[in-house]
Structure 1
Amino acid sequence: MKCYKCQHLMPTTCCSLTIARRNKIKTRTKCRAKTRTRTTSTANVRVAVSLTTTTSIFMTLLFLLSCSRNVTLARLHSSSSTSTVALHGMNSVGNGPVVGVGNSLTTKDAHVKTKDIDAVEGKSVSLPCPISAPLDDVYMVLWFRDNAGIPLYSFDVRDKMNSDQARHWSAPEVFGSRAKFHFDSQPATLEIKDIKRHDQGIYRCRIDFRTSQTQSFRFNLSVIILPEQPIILDRWGRQLNGTKLGPKQEGDDIVITCRVVGGRPQPQVRWLVNGLLVDNQYEHNSGDVIENRLLWPSVQRTDLNSVFTCQALNTQLDKPKEKSFILDMHLKPLEVKIIEPPSSMVADRRYEVTCESTGSRPNAIITWYKGKRQLRRTKDEISNNTTRSELSFVPTTDDDGKSITCRAENPNVNGLYLETMWKLNVVYPPLVTLRLGSTLSPDDIKEGDDVYFECHVQSNPQWRKLLWLHNGIHLEHNTSARVIRSNQSLVLQKITKHYAGNYACSAINDEGETVSNQLPLRVKYTPICKHLDRVILIGASKDETVEVACEIQADPPPRTFRWKFNNSGETLDVGSERFSVNGSRSILKYTPVTDQDYGTLSCWASNEVGTQNQPCLFQVVLAALPNAVSNCTIFNRTELSVDIQCIPGYDGGLPQIFVLEMFSTRSGITRFNITNTEEPQFSLENLDTLTSIMTQENNSLKLRIYAFNQKGRSASYSLPDFSIGSTAFRTDDDVSLTLSPVIVGSVLTIVIISLAVALKIFMMTFLHNLRRNRQHGTKATATAVVTQTGDVYKGGVGIEKPRWQHTDIKSKSSEDLVEDERDPDVIPSQYGKLF
C-alpha cells in the first residue's frame, strides 16, 4: 500500500490521495480533503466559509464520480489573491475532468476585456490563449463557458516532465473530440472543429503557472450561419437549373430573380455580370427569404457567354454562396459566300464547290439549290463559328445559264437566312438531234420519192462545222447524185433502195464533235434475190430429199412465193404444198429420182410494192462424197516448223474442205487439227510443243489428212515417215496410199477425163436452161455458181449444219452456146459413176 501526496506550493490547499495497487487489483479507498482557509479580514472569512460549504458538497459528488471511474483526486487549490477555491481531479490515465470550485467569474475576471471572434457554422475556429510567462512554467490551462464554474476543457502539466506529456481533457457534452489545445503554437490556441450553432457564447481561458499569478482571457464567440444556396427563377417563377441561361436571341430581355433563404446575420443578395456588380438592391419576400430581381434589356451578340452570378454574402470568413449562369444565344449568320467558283464548267464533269458561312450560333446549316431543287450531294465541315459545305456537282447541258444558290440559316432564329447566287456557264460539245422532214411519213417512203432531213444543234460555244453521214460514211454535196446540203438540212432526190440505211449528222465546236442519233431511212421496194446474179448449186443423190432455201430481200416483207422447175425438156410450176414460207424465206423440199429431175429451180416473191423482177436460181446436180487426197509432200522443214502439201481428190460435185489432224491411236483423242477451205496445204509451227505431246502419248500419235463436203467425209491419208527431231510419227496402217508412179499416173488420167466430161455436161445443161429462160422473158445472169456446203469444220470432230458458200465459174462464149444446141440436153447416167 502506497500513499501519494501532492503539496501545492500555495499553503491554502492540501490534498492527499491514496491508491492501492498490487497484482493488478485496485482497492477503493476513501479520500479526504481538508481545506484550510487563512483569512486576513472578516470579509474574507465569510467568503472562505461559503466556499468551504460549496466545496464540501462538490467533493461529495466528485468522490462518487472518482470512485466509479477508479480515479484519484487532485489537490484542492485555493488562491488568496482571487479568493477562489478549485478542486482538480483526474483518473489514473489522466483523462478525467478538472473542476473549478467557487465563483465562476471572479472579481478580477469580470474586468478582463472580451475579444469578439466570429466562426462559421461547420467550419473551425481557434481561440487564442497565451501561455507564456517569464521565468515560470505553466501548471494548468482551463477553459470555461459563460459563467460556468466547471471547465469544459483542461490542459494539465502537473507531475509531467514537459508539456508534451500534459493531460488533455474535453467535456464530451460540450466539445468532446471537436476541441484540441495546441500549446506549441504562438499563441497557444484551442481549436474547435465543426462549429455548431449552440457553440455561440462567451468563453474564458484561465492559465495557472507554477509560481506566477493566474491569467485569464475572455472571448465572445459568434457563430455565423451561412445562407442556403441561391435559387434562380425566370420571369414566370420557374426555377432554372444547370449552368446555361437561354438560349436567347438578339434583342431579347433577360428577367431573372435570385432567391436566398436563411443566414445569420442577414445576407446581402447581389447580381454580378462577368464579375462586375450590376445590382445590389434586394428586398425581403417573407420570413427569412430575400430576393433580388435583375432586368437586363436587349441582349446583343457581344453578350454571348456572359456570366450572370447571384451572390449571397454575410461574412468574410467564407466564400459567398453563389449561383452562376452562362448566357447562351442563338445568332444569325453574318456572312455567306461561295469560295472562288469556276468561271465556266464542262458538262458531265464533276466539280467540288465550297460555300462558307460565319457568325452563326449554333453553326449555320448550309443548303444548296439549283433553281428550286435542293442539291443533296454535300459534305459539311464545322470549326468554331464557321461552317463550310462542299458541293459535289456534275453540271449538265441543261444547267447552262441556271443559278446555284448557297443558303446559310440558323433554324433556331426564325425567318432569318443569308444566301448567295452563282450563275452557271456550262460549256459542252454540241447536242445534235436529227429529224426527218416534218411533211414526210417514215412508213410511206418508197423508191422514186424525195426525202429531206433536219439537223438540230445546241451547243456552248457555237458550232462551227456540220457533217452528214450515211451508214457511217460522210455525204458530200453532189447535185448529179441528187444529194443536196443546205445549212442544217439534207435533201435526197429520187431515192432508190440503196438510199435506205442509217443517217446521222455531226456538229463540231471548241469542246468537241458530237454525232447525232441514228435515224433509219426505210425505202420500200419490190423483192430481190438475196444472192443477186448468182446461181446456187445444190448437190443431191437420187432419192435424197434436200431443202432448197429461197431467201428474199424486200421491204415490206414478201406476201407470196412461187417456184418453178426447169430441165432440158420442160418447165413445171411447183405446188404450194411442196414449199413453206417463213417471213422472207421459202424452203422447198426437193427429191430427185431420175436423171430428168436434175435441173434448175426458180423462185419469185411479191409484196405490196410489186413482184420480183429476176428470180432466184438453184441448179440441182448429182453429188457424192469427195475422194481422198494423194501424194502429200513435206517441205520447208525446220526445227520448229514444217509445210505439208497434197493433191486434192475429186470433190464429189460439191465444194470440199481439207483437214489435217493429229490423234492418238491409244485413246482416239484428237490432239489438234488444221482446216483449209481452199486446198490441202498446211503449215505446222511450234513443233517443240508436239514433242511433249508425243512423250505423253508414248509415241502413239498419227497425222492424217482428209476432205469433206456436204455429203460427208473422204478416206484419210496418213503421212509416212514424219518425225520431229528424233521422234517419228507412225503411218496409218488402215489406209495406205503409197502408190507407184504408173498407178498414180493412171488414176490422175481417169480423174481428169471424168472431170472434163462432167463439166461439159453441166455447162450444156446450164446454157440450155438459160436459153429457155430468155424465151420466157428472163434475163440471163449465168456469171456465177453458188454452192451449198457444210459449215467450216470446227475442232476436227464432225460436220456441222450446212451453210452457203460461193464458187465462181467462167462464162461461156457465143461459140460454146451454138455447140450446146447440137448436144443432147440430157445429163448422162455415167455422171454418177465418177463418184
Structure 2
Amino acid sequence: VVTSPVAATVTRVPAIVGGEADMPCDIRPPMHNDSLLLVVWYRDDNPVYSYDTRVPGPSAHWVDEAYNGRAHWHSKPTAGLRMHEIKSRDRAIYRCRVDFHVSPTRNYKIALDVIELPSKPVIFDEYGKELSNTAGPYHEGGEFKLICSVKGGYPTPRIQWLQGDSVLATLSAGEHSAPTRSLTLVIRNATRAHLGALYTCTADNTLLASPQKTTVKVDLFLKPLAVEIISREQPLSVGRKSELWCKTTGARPPATITWWLGGKKIDAITKESGIQDVNETESLLQWMPSKEHNGQVLTCRAEHSNFNHSSIESKLPLNVYYMPEATIHLGAKMNPNDIEEGDDVYFGCKVDANPPAYKVVWEHNGVLLQHNPANGVIVTGNTNLALRNVSRLQAGLYTCTASNVEGDGKSPHLHMQVVYRPLCQRKEMKIIGAALQEPTTVTCEVDAFPPPDTFEWTLNNSAGSIKVDPDRFTIEAKEGKSLLTYTPVSDVDYGTLSCRATNLAGQQVAPCVYTLLPATRPDPPTNCTVYNLTDDSLDLICLPGYEGGLQCVYVVEVWAAEGLVVNASNGGALWNLRRLGSNRQLRLIVYAANARGRSEHVTFTVETAVRLAPRTEPQEAWEVNWALGVFLGAALTIAFVLCLALIASRIRHRSRDYEVTLPSIKNQKVIVQKRNSPQADDKNPDLIPLSKGVTEGPPDPPLYSAIAQPKNSNSAHSLQRTQTPVTPISSHAHYTDMQNDTGRSMINGAMRSHREIVTTRTPLLAAHQESCV
C-alpha cells in the first residue's frame, strides 16, 4: 500500500457540547478502476474508528470504547464520521486515513472544535439580590443598577445589555477572561418612561446556538403629578353638612390624600380608582364647618410615603356663612349703676355675621322698639339705640337681633336699671278693719330702685297728724316693704295711716294711704250668676260686697231634698261645682265670712238638666221613618191647600161684578198682645233678673258712724233682689231693671212680660270673659 503524506490543511468542524458533529472524509478513488479498501480514524495517532470493506456485515465497523455508541460511519450524502453527544473532551485533531486497492493512501486532518455554551445570565441588583422577573421598585428621579453575571463558556462568551433591539452595554469575549464575568447597567435619573421597561442580558460565544438571555421588568415608584379640589361648593353654611372632593393623579402606587385646615388634619373618606395603571385617587371630605373656619384656607395634600418632599397641594379659601352673633353694650362712659330718670341712655349692638346682617332690631322686655323720636326712641344705623329722658318704665331687659340669610341672631339681654323714688305698689286706698284692743298688721309695699332703706309712718285722725314711733314697725329693705303693728285702743285711734319710703333717689312723693276702720262682719255677695249648667255641674259667680276690712272667705252650700250635696269655699266669689246629679232641684246658699263672723245668706234655686240616654239603632230608624212620614204628609197637605186656593180664586174672578166694596176705616189701631211665658223665664237659670238701682261700682264701705251703731243688713237675700253693679272697665255693659217675684211688671194697667239680652263682663274671670244671656 502506498501511503500519501498527511494533508497540510486542517478542516475545522465546530460542535456544541451535547450536540452532533460530522467530520468529513473523502473516500472517492482517484481512478475509475479502483475502489475503497479501508478507512481508519485516528485521534492523536490512536485509532478510534475503522471501516473494512472486505468484512461483510456489521463486523466491518470497529469503534473505540470511548466512542462506543456515539460514533457512526456514513457514506451518504457525503462520507464521514458522525459523532453524537459531543463532550468537551472530544475536542482534538482527528485524522482520516483512506486505503484503496490500487491508488495510494490518502490522509485528511479534521480539527473538532467543541464549544461550551455559557450559563444563563443571572441578574443582581446593586445590593447583590438576585432578580428573577422584576427589578425594583425604584424611585422616580433616582438611580439604579442592574448587574448581569455569566459563568463558564468556551470560547469566552460575549455579554450584552439590550433594551429591545438597542444595545446598551457590551462586554466582549477578549475582556476579563475569568470563570465568571459580569456586566453592570447603570440607569440615572429614572423617569416615568422607565416604568415597565424590559432589560435583557445576553451571553453568546457561537452562532450555532441562540444567545443565553435573561430579562427583567423595571418597577418604579412615581410621584403624584397633580392634585385638585374638584368640588368647590361655595359658600358653606355652619351646621349644614358639606361635601368636598379632591382628586390626585400620576402617583404609583396611589398617593395618600389628607385634608388640612388651620394646621390640623381632618378625617376624610379615600377612594382609589379600580382601573389598573390609572394611578388616580379621590378623597371625599364630609364635615360640618363652623364659624371659626370662615376665611381659613382648606388644603388638600397628596403625598407618597416612599418619597421625601413629594407632596403637592391644592388650596381653597373658605367662605362660611353663619348666623349673626350679636352683643349689646351700653354707650361709652356710661355707668350702668347710675342711670336716673330723665337721663339719656345709649346702646350699641356689635354684630359678627357672614354675610353681613341686613337688619338689626331692638327689643325691650320682648317688645319690638320702633324709631320714634317724639317718644325719645332713636335708632341710628341699625346698631345704635338712644333713649332720651328715660323713665322707670323703660327699665328692664334690652336685646338686639341681627338677621342675615342664615337666620336671626339674638344678643344676650342687657338689664338696664333706672334709679327712681319709691312708689306705692297699690295706687288705690286700702281699707283695713281693726278691732279695739286687738293688734293689726299693716303692710306698706313700695316699688323702688334701689330698694328703700328707711320708712316713715304717719297717723291722721281727728286728733291731728301723729308720726309713728320707728319701734312699732319693721323694715324689709330687700322686699321693699314695712310692717306696722297697730292696736286701736279707742275710737279716736281710727283714721288714716300713711307711709313714705326713702332710697338713694330721694323720698317718696305720694305716700301709701290705708284707712283704718272698725272690723265688722262682711256684706253678702251680690249679683250671683249661674252659667255652664249641665246635667251634673254648674259654674257660679257673684260680686263680693264689703269684706269688713278683713280677709274674707266665700262659701256656697248646695242642698237637695235629701240633704247637703256640696260645700265649697274660695278666696273669691267664684265656684266650679261638680257631681251635683241630673234632674235635681237644688237650693244654693251663698255667704261671706271673715274673722268677725258671717254675712247674711243669699239663697236661690236651680234645676240640673235631664241626662239623655244613648240613642239606639231601632230608635234612629223609627225616627227616620217618622220624619219621612211627616214630610210626605206636609207635602200632600200643601198640595191640597194650593188646589183649594186655585178654585177659590176662579170663583172670585167670576163674581167680581157683584162684589160690594166697603169703605176702609182710617187711623184704626190694632193692638197685638204678646204672648207671655213667665213660667219659662222663671225656670231659665241663665237669665239675670232685673234690679231697680244701678250703682257706679263695688259697694263703698259704710261710714264709721254707721258701723259703730247696730244695724240690720239690707242686702238682698235672693237672686231676684240683687243689684247689678257697673263694670268700670267696660263701656259695653248693659243693665237690667228690677223685676218682681213673678218676673212681670205693670205697664198701662196691663200685665206684660219682657226679656232682655244682658251682657256682663266679670273682672274675676281671666282675660275679661263675657257672658251673654
Instruction: Give the TM-score normalised by structure 1.
Output: 0.48
The one-letter code sitting in structure 2 at the alignment partner of 1:613 is V
Count of residues paired in the alignment: 517
The superposition leaves residues 83-119 of structure 1 with CA deviations (integer Å, 9 ceiling, x where unpaired) of 89xxxxxxxxxxxxxxxxxx97999998666652489
C-alpha separation in 2, matches of 1:287 and 1:426: 75
Whether 1:356 and 2:252 are equivalent positions in the alignment is: no
- Superposed CA deviations along residues 463-484 of structure 1, whole A, max 9, x for unmatched, are 5555443333333444443333
Matched, 1:327 2:219: yes
Q: In structure 2, the residue corresponding to 1:474 is in which secondary structure?
A: strand
- CA offsets, 1:424-448, max 9 Å, x none? 4455665554432223232222122
Q: Secondary structure at the match of 1:528?
A: strand
CA distance in structure 2 between the partners assigned to 1:705 and 1:242 by the alignment = 117
CA distance in 1, matches of 2:436, 2:215: 121
Task: Please name the residue that 2:279 is paired with.
Answer: 385
Q: Structure 1 counterpart of 2:147, which letter?
A: T
Q: CA deviation at 1:254?
A: 1.4
Match of residue 480, structure 2, among 579, 585, 588: 585
Equivalence for 1:607: 503
* 1:770-809 mapped onto 2 (5 Å cutoff): none
* d(CA) in 2 for partners of 1:263, 1:708: 137
1:248 aligns with 2:142: no
Relative to 1, partners in 2 of residues 1:373 and 1:709: Cα closer, same or farther, differing over 3 Å?
A: farther
Partner of 1:518: 413
1:249-398 to structure 2, matched below 5 A, reads 249-259=139-149, 281=171, 288-306=179-197, 324=216, 326-329=218-221, 331-346=222-237, 348-370=239-261, 372-374=262-264, 376-383=266-273, 385-395=279-289
TM-aligned CA distance change 1:536 to 1:311, over 3 Å: farther
Contact 1:365–1:409 (CA<8 Å) still a contact in 2? Answer: yes
Structure-2 separation of matches of 1:317 and 1:674: 129
Change (3 A) 1:629 1:458: closer
1:490 counterpart letter in structure 2: L
Which residue in 2 is equivalent to 1:469?
A: 363
RMSD: 6.1
Query: Using a 3 Å threshold, how does the CA distance of structure 1 residues 467 and 251 change in structure 2: closer, same or farther?
Result: closer
Q: Distance in 2 between matches of 1:608 and 1:107?
A: 142
Q: Matches of 2:543 and 2:305 in 1, distance apart? A: 93
CA distance in 2, matches of 1:553, 1:233: 98
| Residues 1:435 and 1:240: Cα distance change in structure 2 (over 3 Å) | farther
Shift of 1:341: 1.6
Distance 2:554 2:212 in 1: 115
TM-superposed deviation, 1:563: 4.4
Does residue 554 (structure 1) correspond to residue 444 (structure 2)? The answer is no
Q: Say if 2:160 and 2:201, in contact at 8 Å, map to a contact too.
A: yes
3-state DSSP of counterpart to 1:421: strand
Query: CA 1:556–1:328 in structure 2 vs 1: closer, same or farther (change >3 Å)?
Result: same
What TM-score does the superposition give when structure 2 sets the normalisation length? 0.51
Partner of 1:157: none
Whole-angstrom CA distance in 2 between matches of 1:807 and 1:726: 33
SS of residue matched to 2:393:
helix
Match runs of 1:167-182 below 5 Å: none
The equivalent position to 1:421 in structure 2, one of 305, 315, 327, is 315
Distance, in Å, in 1 between the alignment partners of 2:436 and 2:130 is 115
Contact kept, 8 Å, 1:565 with 1:574, in 2: the verdict is no
- Tell me, yes or no, if the aligned pair for 1:282 and 1:293 is still in contact at 8 Å: no
| Residue of structure 2 in register with 1:450 after alignment | 344
Q: Percent identity?
A: 29
1:302 CA drift (Å): 2.7
SS of residue in 1 equivalent to 2:308: coil
SS in structure 2 of the partner of residue 502 of structure 1:
strand
Query: C-alpha deviations, 1:307-341, integer Å up to 9, x for none?
Result: 55668899999998968565231x22222222242
Does residue 575 in structure 1 map to residue 470 in structure 2?
A: yes
What does residue 673 of structure 2 align with? none
Match for residue 391 of structure 2 among 489, 496, 503: 496
1:261-316 Cα shifts (integer Å, max 9, x gaps): 67999998765668998656489989744433222232111322445566889999
Measured against aligned partners, the alpha-carbon deviations of 1:189-213 in whole angstroms (never above 9, x if no partner) come to xxxxxxxxxxxxxxxxxxxxxxxxx
Amino acid across the alignment from 1:615: P
**What is the match of residue 132 of structure 1?**
none
How do residues 408-807 of structure 1 correspond to structure 2 at under 5 angstroms? 408-426=302-320, 432-456=326-350, 465-488=359-382, 489-507=384-402, 514-529=409-424, 531-536=425-430, 549-563=443-457, 571-576=466-471, 578-586=473-481, 588=483, 590=485, 592=487, 602-617=498-513, 642-643=537-538, 645=540, 653-656=550-553, 678-682=572-576, 684=578, 759-761=702-704
Go from structure 1 to structure 2 and tell me whether the alpha carbon gap of 1:274 and 1:526 turns closer, same or farther (over 3 Å shift). farther
Alpha-carbon distance in structure 2 between the residues aligned to 1:763 and 1:332: 112
| 2:224 aligned partner, one-letter code | P
Report the Cα distance in structure 1 between the residues aligned to 2:569 and 2:172, rounded to whole angstroms. 116
Deviations 1:595-652 (A, max 9, x none): 767766544332222122233445667779999999999987656x532548899967
Distance 1:286 1:559, change over 3 A: farther
Structure 1 379/676 Cα, relative in aligned 2: closer, same or farther at 3 Å?
Answer: farther
8 Å CA contact 1:452–1:491 kept in 2: the answer is yes
Aligned partner of 1:239 in structure 2 is: 129
- Provide the C-alpha distance between the structure 2 equivalents of 1:306 and 1:621, rounded to a whole number of angstroms: 120
Q: What CA deviation, in whole Å up to 9, does each residue of 1:172-229 have, x standing for no partner? A: xxxxxxxxxxxxxxxxxxxxxxxxxxxxxxxxxxxxxxxxxxxxxxxxxx99999699
* C-alpha spacing 1:116/1:634, structure 2 compared with 1 (3 Å): same
CA distance in 1, matches of 2:598, 2:132: 105
Relative to structure 1, the CA distance from residue 723 to residue 623 in structure 2 (aligned partners, 3 Å threshold; closer, same or farther) is farther
Distance 1:657 1:273, change over 3 A: farther
Rounded Cα–Cα distance in structure 2 between residues aligned with 1:543 and 1:285: 143
Cα distance change, pair 430–423 in 1 and its aligned pair in 2 (3 A): same
Matched to 1:364, the amino acid is A
Cα distance change, pair 347–636 in 1 and its aligned pair in 2 (3 A): closer
Measured in 1, the distance between the counterparts of 2:281 and 2:567 equals 73
| Offset, 1:533 | 0.9
- Aligned partners of 2:517 and 2:704 also within 8 Å: no
1:270–1:566 Cα change, 3 Å: farther
Which of 64, 68, 84 is the matching residue for 1:116?
84
Q: Letter of the aligned partner of 1:409 in structure 2?
A: E
Structure 1 SS opposite 2:145? strand
Cα distance, 1:356 vs. partner?
A: 1.4
In the alignment, structure 1 segments of 5+ residues that lack a partner are 1-78, 85-102, 120-145, 147-221, 662-669, 692-702, 728-754, 766-783, 785-805, 809-835
Partner SS for 1:498: helix
Deviation at 1:380, TM superposition (A): 2.4
> Matched residues in 1 for 2:478 and 2:68: separation?
147
| d(CA) in 2 for partners of 1:658, 1:228 | 124
Cα deviation per residue 1:49-80 (whole Å; 9 max; x = unaligned)? Answer: xxxxxxxxxxxxxxxxxxxxxxxxxxxxxx99
Please report how far the alpha carbon of residue 555 of structure 1 lies from its aligned counterpart in structure 2 after TM superposition: 2.2
Q: Could you tell me how far apart the structure 1 residues matched to 2:598 and 2:151 are?
A: 124
Question: 2:72 & 2:253 partners in 1: Cα distance?
Answer: 71
AA at the equivalent of 1:527: P
Report the counterpart of residue 669 of structure 2 in structure 1: none
Distance 1:508 1:249 in 2: 57
Q: Cα distance, 1:256 vs. partner?
A: 2.8
Name the CA shift for 1:485/1:81 in 2 (closer, same or farther; >3 Å).
closer
